[in-house]
Amino acid sequence: MNPTTLSMLSREPHVITAGTALLGEALDQQAVARTDVDWRPPVPGTAAALAAALADPRRERANALAVGRMVSARPRLAGVRPAREALGLEPGTFLHAGPPISWERASGPMRGALIGAMLFEGLAASPEDAEERLAAGSGITLDSCHHHRTVGPMAGVVSPSMWMLEVADAEHGGTAYCSLNEGLGKVLRYGAYGPEVVERLRWMGDVLGPALQAALALNGPLDLRGLIAQALQMGDELHNRNRAATSLMVRELAPAVVEAAPGHAAEVLRFINGNDHFFLNAGMAAAKVSADAARDVPGSSLVVAMARNGTDFGIQVSGLGDRWFTGPAGVPDGLYLGAYGPGDANPDIGDSTITETTGLGGFAMAAAPAIVRFVGGDVADAVAATTSMYEITLAEHPAYQIPGLGFRGTPVGVDVTLVARTGTLPVVNTGIAGRVAGTGQVGAGLVSPPMEAFTAALAALTDV
C-alpha cells in the first residue's frame, strides 16, 4: 500500500460511531452506512490502568502471538499413567483445583476430597484421622494443579496413585494432565469420601487406567482437537454437556479396549458409557495444554487460566507469569438435584473453567441447545451468552465452530483489558458441589467470576 494514501478517501463511507447519539443520528440523516457501538464507561477506577495497558507497544503483537498459540494447539490423548509416574508426585503430596489454598481456608468439598485422597493413599485409618493429619500438616504438601501442568474438575484433588490422562500438544510440544472421571453422584471430586468412593478409585487404578493405557498404546494417540470440533457440532459445549464427546471417544477406543484388555473390556466400556461426563477430563487436559502454549508472552493481557478452589476464584495472565489474581468464589446460580437447594451449595470450585479459558463451556453455549435452561431460559439466551463473549475475547477459534451461528468459531482468549472496558465477565458453566464435605454434587448452573481478579491483573500489567 502506498503509505501516503488513505483508503477512506476512495471508498464508500461506512462509519463506526462510539459516543454521542446525536452524531450518529446526523450520519443516519445523511444515509451513511454506520455501525454503532453500545458504549458504556469501563469498570470504575480502571481508566488510567486501561490507558497504560493499551499503550504498551508490545500488547497487540503479544496478544496475537499468545492467542495464536492457544488456538493452533493440537491436543492428542497420548496415554494414561499414575500421577506418581507422570508428575513425580511424592506420597503426602496432593494437588488441588484453583489457586493455592491451605487446609484452614479450604471449603467443605475440598476438605472432603483431601480426606478421601488420604484414605485412598492409605495415609489415614479413618476420615477423622485424615482430617487431623491434614490439619496438622506434617508430611502433607498441598499445591495447585496448575503449577504441575495439571487440571482437576471440582475439588481437583490428585494424589500419587491416581491415574492421569496425558495429553500432548502436537503443535507446540507441551503436555498436560487430568485425572480420570469417576462418574456422577458421590464422588471424590465433589468432596465425597465414603468407602464406595475409595473403592471406585481403586478400581480405576487397577482396571480402568491400565485398560485405557493399553488401548491407547494399541490405537495410537486420540486427536482431541478433531473430537472436540465434532462434539460441538453435535450439541456439546464440552463443560456441562459432554455426551457427544464421550460417545465419540467410546466409538474411537472401544475396539482397542476389547483387543487390549479383553478380560475387562465390558466393565470398562460400561463404566465409560454410564457417565456422560467421562470426556470432560480429557477435554480439560486438551484445554490446559492449549492454554499453556499461550503462557509467558511478555506484554500479553490474555487470560491463560481461570480456576477455583472452592474459596477463591483465580486467574493467570500470559504476560504475568505464574502470578494468581483472585477474588472470592461466587455461589453458582443454577438448578438443583433432588431436594437440594441454594443453601446446600458450596462456592464455585474446580479447574474445569479451563474449558471457558479456551473458548468452550459457557463460551460455546450456543452450540448446546439441549442444556440452555442452565443459562436461564431459551436458545436465544444461549446465543446471547456466546455472542457476548466475542466482546471480551481476542479470536474466533478456527476449528471449534458453532453451527447455529453460521459455523462461526467459538469466542476464544479472554483479554483482561476487554473485561474491564466492557464490564462483561466470562460466562462460566459449572457443576455445583455440596458445601458439606462428603455430600457430592447438588446441582449445576452458571457462575460469574469476581471482577476484582481481572482488575487486579490489569493493574499488574501496568506495573511490569
Partner 1 sequence: MNDLVEVRAGVYRDSVSLMRVSQALAALPGVSVAIVAMATELNVGLARDAGFAVPAATPGDLLVAIRASTDDAVQEAAAELERRLAAREAAGAARHEDRPPRTVRSAARAAARDAAGSGGATVALVSVPGEYAFLEALDAVEAGLSVMIFSDNVPVEQEILLKDRAREQGVLVMGPDCGTAVIGGAGLGFANVLGPGPVGVVAASGTGAQQVTSLLDLAGVGVSHLLGVGGRDLSAEVGGRSAIQALRALDADPATELILLVSKPPAPEAAGAVRDLGLGTKLVTALLGPGQDDLTTAVEKVLGALGREVPAWPCWPAPPGAPGTPGSECRGPLRGLYSGGTLCAEAAVIAGNGEFTDFGDDAYTRGRAHPMIDPTLRLEALDAVESGVVLLDVVLGHGADPDPSARLAPAVARACGRGVAVVVALVGTDGDPQGLRVQAARLNEAGAAVFTSNAAAARHARDLAAACVHS
**Amino acid at the residue 446:** L
Bridge-partner residues for 79, per DSSP? 166
Distance between CA atoms of 235 and 356, rounded to whole angstroms?
16
Q: How many CB atoms lie within 10 A of CB 384?
A: 16
- Closest separation in Å from C-beta 334 to partner 1: 9
Among residues 286, 289, 269, 283, the alpha carbon closest in space to that of 212 is found at 269
Q: Which is nearer to partner 1, 1 or 138 (CB)?
A: 1
Tallying the residues shown for the chain, one arrives at 464
From residue 335, how far is each of 39, 120, 125, 195, 328 by CA, in Å? 33, 31, 36, 28, 21
Instruction: Report the residue number, 23 or 266, with the smaller CB distance to partner 1.
Output: 23
Q: Least distance from C-beta 428 to partner 1, angstroms?
A: 17
Minimum separation from the CB atom of position 195 to partner 1 (A): 15
Q: Least distance (Å) from partner 1 to the CB of residue 156?
A: 22
> Of 57 and 173, which has the nearer Cβ to partner 1?
57
Q: Toward partner 1, which CB reaches closer, 85 or 196? A: 196
Q: How far is the CB of 127 from partner 1 (least distance, A)?
A: 19
Query: At CA 224, angle to CA 446 and CA 365, rounded to 5?
Result: 25
Whole-angstrom Cα distance, residue 276 to residue 249? 11
Q: Closer to partner 1 at the Cβ: 139 or 185?
A: 185
One-character DSSP codes across 114-133:
HHHHHHHTT--SSHHHHHHH
Sign of CA dihedral 252, 256, 261, 263: positive
Among residues 32 and 140, whose Cβ is nearest to partner 1? 32
The nearer residue to partner 1, 130 or 402, going by C-beta atoms, is 402
3-state SS, residue 260: helix
CA 66 to chain centroid, in Å, comes to: 17
Give the Cα-Cα-Cα angle 426, 320, 151 (nearest 5 degrees).
60
Q: Which C-beta is closer to partner 1: that of 226 or that of 423?
A: 423
Minimum separation from the CB atom of position 321 to partner 1 (A): 25
Between 2 and 102, CB nearer to partner 1: 2
Q: Minimum CB separation from partner 1 for residue 269, in Å?
A: 18
Q: How far is the CB of 305 from partner 1 (least distance, A)?
A: 24
State the nearest-atom distance from the C-beta of 184 to partner 1, in Å.
6
Max distance between CA atoms of the chain, in angstroms, equals: 80
Tell me which residue of 351, 303, 418, 448 sits closest to 113, measured CA to CA: 351
What are the beta bridge partners of residue 346? Answer: none
Least CB distance to partner 1 at residue 21 (A):
9
Contact 384, 363 (CB under 8 A): no
Place of cell 465409560: 272
Cα gap 90→113, rounded to integer Å: 18
Closer CB to partner 1, residue 107 or residue 393?
393
